[in-house]
Amino acid sequence: MVDGALAPFYLTTPIYYVNDVPHIGHAYTTLACDAIARFWRLDGRAVHFLTGTDEHGQKIQRAAALQGIDPQVFCDRVSQNFRDLAQTMNYSIDDFIRTTEPRHKTAVQAIWRKLLDAGAIYEDTYKGWYSVRDEAYFDVDELQPGPDGTRLAPTGAPVEWVEEPSFFFRLSAYGDRLLEHYDNNPDFILPRGRRNEVVSFVKGGLRDLSISRASISWGVPVPDVPGHTVYVWLDALTNYLTALGYPAIDEAQFRRWWPADLHMIGKDIIRFHAVYWPAFLMAAELPIPKRVFAHGWWTNEGQKISKSLGNVIDPTQLVATYGLDQTRYFLLREVPFGQDGDFSHRAMVARINSDLANDLGNLAQRTLSQIARNCAGKVPQPGPLSAADEALLDSVDTLLDELRTAFEGQEIHLALTRLWAMIGDTNGYIAREAPWSLKKTDPARMATVLWVTAEAIRQFAILVQPVMPGAGAALLDQLGQGPESRTFDSLGVKGRLAADTPLPPPQGVFPRFVEEA
Ligand code: MSP
């Protein structure tokens, strides 16, 4: 497949606040995107995969002040941690955006002017509640009582009273158009439960949104109005356009990637992406992204993850303890993508030992070591295929179509479940055919069974690459498959293992996790 022959795919992660060190929640959103980006690239699509850091606003201004550091120096430092995480987790990002970059300031000011020209902005005074932790405004009836007569946002964050001159966006004028958009595009917001939440929020009536802050200096200046900075969410959301060169756009290049195919986010920030963002884009006369997918939240051994509880999971630590591909596999397999999930050491070890070491690892190790011992270390020459051989290979050959369907709906767990069901079938096949007992009685049949099994493993190795790039590559190395034979183009009959290909000595790819005494 020629690069880009299929529709190009632009996907984004949220940009991460730099007030915090990266934790499992951040790692998870980008990991899911990485698996999706790798899947479509292997399928021959041109992919643009964007992530980055969200560096303006009151929360960051305060975090820097608390440490007595200049905000830019503070942002430079913390942003680097997110870049480092991309290395640690083996993310295949195409661009890393920072909202303090000059290219972004230009884009934010350009979209501001677009909204202004469209008559969507007016000046007034903001009087109301603001949560710095969420960087969000709340109506009084959304708040809940906190300790000592204080009030809390629905997220549990403290709120502060804000009263200052502000520019407003006419969000209230976009309710009907938004509802129409959700109706006409039933898959715009996934999973479905989230969509229903957004629809009822919009049906409840939208209030105009304050989009500038007069008391916050750490932000993009509102064009031509000294003393105001752009509200951090309008600033942050615009990053998805900045990365395509907006506003100085090469029209053809821009249309190639925009509207974005997928904004991946966590469930906590759906309102910003599925209500405010499309409304801003409608006002700026830009097309609406094709999908916003909101995944669930992780807990740690049953507990909410929070700094005050001291149970934050450091992804770098997970990788050091369990291995990179093991961590990637666990996070994407353990929980149906879109639902909340719980991290536990026990569940992690169970996945590593059962799915990886036993199911896939043993299958590969058993097959490859028999080939090394009994077939002179070369891919065996198959004889005529039995009905069982044909049935197994036919099912393996249909995996790609099934995985495509799963990935089209961001059902990454289903792709893995399907793949592992097939790995299970292959283990059943080899147990029934027992090539080890054919060595003396029927070496030709033994060669056929080992070839069929190795061919199935070849396809599994290609298909696990989006989730476990390292392990997939290691298996393909052991099957003598070079870089030109690793994309989805090589799946199925086209790429069948060639007899007599010399193979390197087999090596285990998935060690068991052994508890230290
Ligand atoms: N800066 C905003 C996003 C702006 S996008 C234009 C932001 N940043 S964040 O750093 O607070 O969060 C980024 C992502 O991490 C969110 O998608 C959020 O859902 C995710 N997670 C944070 N904690 C999480 C868990 N415990 N579990 C799973 N994901 C969670 O919001």
pLDDT tens across the length of the chain (517 residues): 344 468 999 999 999 999 988 999 999 999 999 999 999 999 999 999 999 999 999 999 999 999 999 999 999 999 999 999 999 999 999 999 999 999 999 999 999 999 999 999 999 999 999 999 999 999 999 999 999 889 999 999 999 999 999 999 999 999 999 999 999 999 999 999 999 999 999 999 999 999 999 999 999 999 999 999 999 999 999 999 999 999 987 888 899 999 999 999 999 999 999 999 999 999 999 999 999 999 999 999 999 998 888 899 999 999 999 999 999 999 999 999 999 999 999 999 999 999 999 999 999 999 999 999 999 999 999 999 999 999 999 999 999 999 999 999 999 999 999 999 999 999 999 999 999 999 999 999 999 999 999 999 999 999 999 999 999 999 999 999 999 999 999 999 999 999 999 999 999 999 999 987 7
Q: What domains sit in the chain, N to C, each tagged with a CATH number?
A: 345-495 (1.10.730.10)
* 470 vs 388: CA distance, rounded Å: 31
CB 360 within 8 A of CB 319: no
Distance (Å) from CA 266 to ligand 1 centroid: 6
* 478 vs 218: CA distance, rounded Å: 53
Block residue for tokens 């909410």: 304
Block residue for tokens 């991309």: 86
Type and span of the H or E element at 230 = strand 229-230
In 3D space, the residue among 374, 373, 362 whose CA is nearest the CA of residue 445 turns out to be 374
* 230 vs 237: CA distance, rounded Å: 12
The protein residue whose alpha carbon is closest to atom 12 in ligand 1 is 16
What residues have CB less than 8 Å from 179, skipping those under 6 apart? Answer: 199, 202, 203
Look up residue 21 and give its DSSP letter.
Answer: -
DSSP 411-425: -HHHHHHHHHHHHHH
Look up residue 323 and give its DSSP letter.
Answer: -
Pocket lined around ligand 1, Cβ cut-off 6 Å: 14-17, 25-26, 28-29, 54, 236-237, 239, 265-266, 268-269, 297-298, 305
Q: Can you say how many angstroms the Cα of residue 216 is from the centroid of all Cα atoms in its chain?
A: 32
The protein residue whose alpha carbon is closest to atom 29 in ligand 1 is 25
CB 311 within 8 A of CB 303: yes
The protein residue whose alpha carbon is closest to atom 5 in ligand 1 is 14
Collapsed DSSP state (helix, strand, coil) of residue 109? helix
Query: What's the one-letter identity of residue 269?
Result: I
What pLDDT is attached to residue 516?
Answer: 79
* 512 vs 509: CA distance, rounded Å: 10
CB 177 within 8 A of CB 118: no
- What does the chain come to in residues? 517
Residue 224: other Cβ atoms inside 10 A: 10
What residues have CB less than 8 Å from 112, skipping those under 6 apart? Answer: 121, 222, 223, 230, 234
* 294 vs 332: CA distance, rounded Å: 14
Look up residue 299 and give its DSSP letter.
Answer: E
* 295 vs 228: CA distance, rounded Å: 34
Q: Give the pair of three-digit tokens for residue 60.
A: 């960051």
Distance (Å) from CA 306 to ligand 1 centroid: 13
* 159 vs 141: CA distance, rounded Å: 13
In 3D space, the residue among 284, 101, 275, 150 whose CA is nearest the CA of residue 200 turns out to be 275
What pLDDT is attached to residue 1?
Answer: 39
In 3D space, the residue among 334, 335, 342, 456 whose CA is nearest the CA of residue 388 turns out to be 456
The protein residue whose alpha carbon is closest to atom 22 in ligand 1 is 25
Query: What's the one-letter identity of residue 315?
Result: P
Which of 20, 54, 100 is the best mutation target for the ligand 1 pocket, counting ligand atoms within 8 Å of the beta carbon and taking the most?
A: 54
* 159 vs 51: CA distance, rounded Å: 29
How many degrees, rounded to 5, is the angle at CA 211 between CA 206 and CA 213? 135
What pLDDT is attached to residue 38?
Answer: 98
Phi, psi of 482 (to 5 degrees): -80, 175
Look up residue 246 and give its DSSP letter.
Answer: T
CB 6 within 8 A of CB 45: yes
- Strand order of the sheet with strand 298-300? 303-304, 298-300, 341-343
* 135 vs 157: CA distance, rounded Å: 10
Would you call 3 exposed, middle or buried from its count of C-beta atoms within 10 A (0-12, 13-18, 19+)? exposed
Which of 26, 96, 295 is the best mutation target for the ligand 1 pocket, counting ligand atoms within 8 Å of the beta carbon and taking the most?
A: 26
* The model's pTM: 0.97
Ligand 1: which atom is nearest the Cα of residue 236?
6
- Strand order of the sheet with strand 160-169? 136-138, 121-131, 160-169, 209-210
Question: In angstroms, what CA-CA distances link 353 with 290, 325, 508?
Answer: 39, 13, 13
Distance (Å) from CA 56 to ligand 1 centroid: 15
Question: Torsion over CA of 160, 162, 168 and 171, rounded to 10 degrees?
Answer: 30
In 3D space, the residue among 201, 131, 206 whose CA is nearest the CA of residue 174 turns out to be 206
Look up residue 500 and give its DSSP letter.
Answer: T
> Computed over its alpha carbons, how large is the radius of gyration of the chain?
26
Ligand 1: which atom is nearest the Cα of residue 267?
19
CB 47 within 8 A of CB 261: no
What pLDDT is attached to residue 20?
Answer: 84
The protein residue whose alpha carbon is closest to atom 9 in ligand 1 is 16
What pLDDT is attached to residue 3?
Answer: 45
Question: In angstroms, what CA-CA distances link 391 with 170, 403, 426?
Answer: 60, 19, 11
